[in-house]
């Protein structure tokens, strides 16, 4: 159905309303007027947008379209509901922040070592042969720093995995 409608004629009309009410079987519809206000699932003289005709035929008068329909009201409620951050999202954000800080620390260490090497503070001699050895030393230090960071990150990932379960 493309709109909500009140039935004026129904001939063996059965409607699948699972998308709206959760009813698993097709519901029999009839054109009879209801005596009082009824819940959505009990409105036997109405067909609703988002439902499907399973059997029969009917004629109705459109009562609502678009956001004014019953399914539109549900969509509006979902749209108005504020989205909350889940614990998993908080942990992932925390791990990302920690990794970002770690990258800045490692980059700072590299810059400091390079500046000290250029000024000759780290070593007294500045021969090309020794410079290569110093950069291998720096690389070894960075590898060890990386291993330490990965170890702490692995623990954080285990926490996030536990939260996901």
Share of the chain above pLDDT 70, in %: 70
**pLDDT tens-place string over residues 95-140:** 989 988 888 888 888 777 777 766 655 554 445 555 566 666 666 6
* Rg of the chain (C-alpha set): 34
Supply the range of the domain harboring residue 38. 4-80
Please state the domain count of the chain: 2
| pTM (2 d.p.) | 0.51
Instruction: Specify whether 75 is located in the same domain as 16.
Output: yes
Q: Which of 60, 80, 100 is the last residue of a domain?
A: 80
Asked if 18 and 63 sit in the same domain, the reply is yes
Pair 32, 93 in one domain = no
Determine the pLDDT at residue 14: 94
Q: What CATH number is given to the structural domain containing 20?
A: 2.70.150.10
Helix spans in 5-127 (H): 18-21, 70-80, 87-119
Name the token pair of 99: 């990794």
Is there a single domain that holds both residue 117 and residue 65?
Answer: no
Q: Is 31 left (phi over 0), alpha (psi -120 to 50) or beta?
A: alpha
Do 131 and 148 fall within a single domain? yes
pLDDT digits (tens, 9 = 90+) for 3-16: 999 999 999 999 99
Mean pLDDT, rounded, of the chain = 79
């Amino acid at each position: 159905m493309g709109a909500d409608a009140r039935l004026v004629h129904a001939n063996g009309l059965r409607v699948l309303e699972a998308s709206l009410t959760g009813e698993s079987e097709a519901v029999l519809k009839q054109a009879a007027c209801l005596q009082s206000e009824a819940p959505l699932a009990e409105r036997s003289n109405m067909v609703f947008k988002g439902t499907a005709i399973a059997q029969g035929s009917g004629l109705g008068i459109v009562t609502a379209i678009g956001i004014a329909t019953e399914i539109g009201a549900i969509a509006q409620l979902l749209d108005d509901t504020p989205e909350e951050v889940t614990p998993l999202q908080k942990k992932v954000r925390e791990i990302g922040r920690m990794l970002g800080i770690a990258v800045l620390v490692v980059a700072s260490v590299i810059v400091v070592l390079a500046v000290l090497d250029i000024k000759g503070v780290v070593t007294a001699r500045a021969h090309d042969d020794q410079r290569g050895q110093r950069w291998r030393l720096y690389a070894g230090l960075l590898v060890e720093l990386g291993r330490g960071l990965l170890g702490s990150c692995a623990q954080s990932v285990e926490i996030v995995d536990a939260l996901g379960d």
